[in-house]
Amino acid sequence: MFFQFITINTDQLFAFANGNPFQIMGTIFIYGGWIPFTIVCLWGLKAVWLNWRQNLFAAKAKYVLLAIDVPKENEQLPKAVENVFTHIHGASAAIDFIGKWRDGKLQPTFSFEICSHGGYVQFYIRTETRFRDLVESAVFSQYPDAEINEVEDYAAPFRSMTFPPKDEDALDLFGSEFKLKNPEYFKIRTHDEFEEKLAGEYKDPLGTMLESLSKIRPEEQVWLQILANPPYDNGWQKAGEKYIKKMAGIKETPKASVFGKIASVPMGILSDAIVHGGIVTPGETVKKKDDTSMFRMLMMTPDTKATLEGVADKIAKPGFKAKLRFVYIAPKKIKYIPRIYPSIKGSLNQFNALGSNAFTPYIPVMTQDDYFWLRWTLDGKKRRMLSRYISRSNDGATKSVLNVVELATIWHFPIITTKAPLVKKTESRRAEPPAGLPTAPRELGGAAEGEWSMPKKPVKPATGGAGSPPSSLPTV
């Protein structure tokens, strides 16, 4: 017989199922159930350990908040800010296994912020103290007339806010985070696509946002925060390359393992012996090269070609792991979300690229109360949103890679044609002192703090012995 039936004793199965539930679970655990349990526990312990070490490492870092006054007559396009981000990308660090799991090393996080304090718009960069010179040199290299000043954290005084608000005059909050809608190797609409080629005019995509931020009331606050850090590896670029090859029909040759390479040696010798030994008959035709990839490229629609070109353009530039966070604070009696949030969301919609990528709100952290079950967790969401903003925390929405061109598109200084009168700008041009400017002589106690003077030349001791006349005394 080719088949043999297996008999199962159902009485024992039903007796086992009708037993004590704890005994059943114990039996299942002993006979293999401990394997997935152990895997889950080890995975959890690994995550807890890494989070603990990274928190200890991050607690040691010291940060500084830099307020940037944009040049009053700025004619630089966002291409200049693209160079700034490329320069800051140099802060990325190589983290090995020991540095990651023992020391908890992290890539440095930068926060690029645009804030409206009662209608006055200010640009900020928050960075670790050790990278302050890097940030300042990056900005001054592209904007010599800009002014950069260290300031106190504007968000810290709002740490004492309580939710729900005590009365109508107390402050209330609305917040949200934004992330990319599609895989991170798809690009958004960038600043070079806002330039009218025929007219030679540049339509600043931040113009509408800055105009909206300039019109809020004196009691209101609107903050936009972009958290960015260099990625740990180039996996996002490899994923983009893989997508391009897949859409183009290019088959990737899988990498052979060590055992595969060892086995390929005798197989190669055997194949050569078969071919040169005459086993291949003269009438056999040689296999033609597969030209399906070329045909597939020719048959692509313009939209698909544009998408692939966008992916190729994005992975060719350095990128940052980034996400956007938005916070709106106002007294409860005047807080009006439909006047603020749609303008911010609409400004971000300008960067949506059809068939490529777009920004979308991250609903789990949004402080909305459209339905009754959302009101149960509303106050907790507000507290977490405010705390994450003040600490510039990476919790919340998952970060996605934005390259330097995309970051310069959503965070750059307005050009001279942008009508945003309440953006903080420099009052005068910044210039270096003349090279031949005389300096004050150094006093006995040294120069005052912050003052530089030429050091005095050392005085040569007298050549004569004790009581001898000075060498410069005239003689008869």
Spatial distance between the Cα atoms of 200 and 197, rounded to a whole number of angstroms:
5
Predicted structure pTM score: 0.76
pLDDT in tens, 169-194: 899 999 999 999 999 999 999 988 88
Residue 160 sits in the same domain as residue 170: yes
Between 404 and 428, name the one with better pLDDT.
Answer: 404
Residue 196 sits in the same domain as residue 325: yes
Tell me whether strands 63-69 and 147-151 are parallel, antiparallel or unpaired: antiparallel
Return the minimum-mean-pLDDT range out of 58-72, 147-161, 257-271: 257-271
72, pLDDT greater than 80: no
155, pLDDT greater than 80: yes
pLDDT at position 365? 92
Residue 49 sits in the same domain as residue 119: no
Among the candidates 369, 388, 410, a domain finishes at 410
| Residue-number span of the structural domain to which 32 is assigned | 26-60
Residue 122 sits in the same domain as residue 171: yes
Asked if the structure places residue 253 within a domain, the reply is no
Asked if the structure places residue 463 within a domain, the reply is no
Please state the domain count of the chain.
2
Confidence of residue 54 (pLDDT cuts 50, 70, 90): confident
Confidence of residue 446 (pLDDT cuts 50, 70, 90): very low
Residue 347 sits in the same domain as residue 335: yes
Q: Name, in order, each residue with C-beta under 8 angstroms of 216's C-beta and a sequence gap of 6 or more.
A: 116, 118, 119, 222, 340
363, pLDDT greater than 80: yes
Q: What percent of the chain is predicted at pLDDT more than 90?
A: 40
pLDDT in tens, 139-149: 999 998 889 99
pLDDT at position 88? 94
Asked if the structure places residue 471 within a domain, the reply is no
Full 3-state SS string of the chain? CCCCCCCCCHHHHHHHHCCCHHHHHHHHHHHHHHHHHHHHHHHHHHHHHHHHHHHHHHHCCCEEEEEEEECCCCCCCCHHHHHHHHHHHHHCCCCCHHHHHCCCCCCCCEEEEEEEECCEEEEEEEEEHHHHHHHHHHHHHHCCCCEEEEECCCCHHHHHCCCCCCCCCCEEEEEEEEEECCCCCCCCCCHHHHEECCCCEECCCCHHHHHHHCCCCCCCEEEEEEEEECCCCCHHHHHHHHHHHHHHCCCCCCCCCHHHHHHHHHHHHHHHHHHHCCCCCCCCCCCCCCCHHHHHHHCCCHHHHHHHHHHHHHHCCCEEEEEEEEEEEEECCCCCHHHHHHHHHHHHHCCCCCCCCCEEECHHHCCCCCCHHHHCCHHHHHHHHHHHHHHCCCCCCCCEEEEHHHHHHHCCCCCCCCCCCCECECCCCCCCCCCCCCCCCCCCCCCCCCCCCCCCCCCCCCCCCCCCCCCCCCCC
pLDDT at position 321? 94
pLDDT at position 442? 45
Asked if the structure places residue 368 within a domain, the reply is yes
pLDDT at position 182? 93
Among the candidates 410, 432, 447, a domain finishes at 410
Q: What is the mean pLDDT of residues 63-71?
A: 91
pLDDT at position 265? 60
Residue 113 sits in the same domain as residue 186: yes
Spatial distance between the Cα atoms of 46 and 104, rounded to a whole number of angstroms:
12
Where residue 89 sits, what CATH number does that domain have?
3.40.462
Q: Among all chains, which residue has been given the structure tokens 């291949």?
A: 280
Q: What percent of the chain is predicted at pLDDT more than 70?
A: 72
How many residues belong to the chain? 476
Among the candidates 355, 382, 410, a domain finishes at 410
Residue 55 sits in the same domain as residue 66: no
Residue 89 sits in the same domain as residue 40: no
Q: What is the mean pLDDT of residues 5-32?
A: 70
Residue 48 sits in the same domain as residue 145: no
Between 443 and 4, name the one with better pLDDT.
Answer: 4
205, pLDDT greater than 70: yes
Residue 34 sits in the same domain as residue 178: no
Confidence of residue 445 (pLDDT cuts 50, 70, 90): very low
292, pLDDT greater than 60: yes
CB neighbours of residue 195 within 10 Å: 12
Q: What is the mean pLDDT of residues 36-55?
A: 84
Asked if the structure places residue 337 within a domain, the reply is yes
Confidence of residue 266 (pLDDT cuts 50, 70, 90): low
Between 67 and 26, name the one with better pLDDT.
Answer: 67
Q: What is the mean pLDDT of residues 454-472?
A: 50
Between 460 and 207, name the one with better pLDDT.
Answer: 207
Asked if the structure places residue 280 within a domain, the reply is no
Asked if the structure places residue 49 within a domain, the reply is yes
pLDDT at position 11? 66
Between 356 and 293, name the one with better pLDDT.
Answer: 356
Residue 66 sits in the same domain as residue 146: yes
Contact between residue 145 and residue 426 where contact means Cβ atoms under 8 Å apart: yes
pLDDT at position 278? 47
Confidence of residue 136 (pLDDT cuts 50, 70, 90): very high
pLDDT in tens, 220-259: 999 999 999 998 888 899 999 999 888 877 776 666 555 5
Asked if the structure places residue 295 within a domain, the reply is no
- Per the prediction, the chain carries an average pLDDT of 80
Between 261 and 280, name the one with better pLDDT.
Answer: 261
Confidence of residue 63 (pLDDT cuts 50, 70, 90): very high
pLDDT at position 22? 74
pLDDT at position 4? 57
Residue 88 sits in the same domain as residue 201: yes
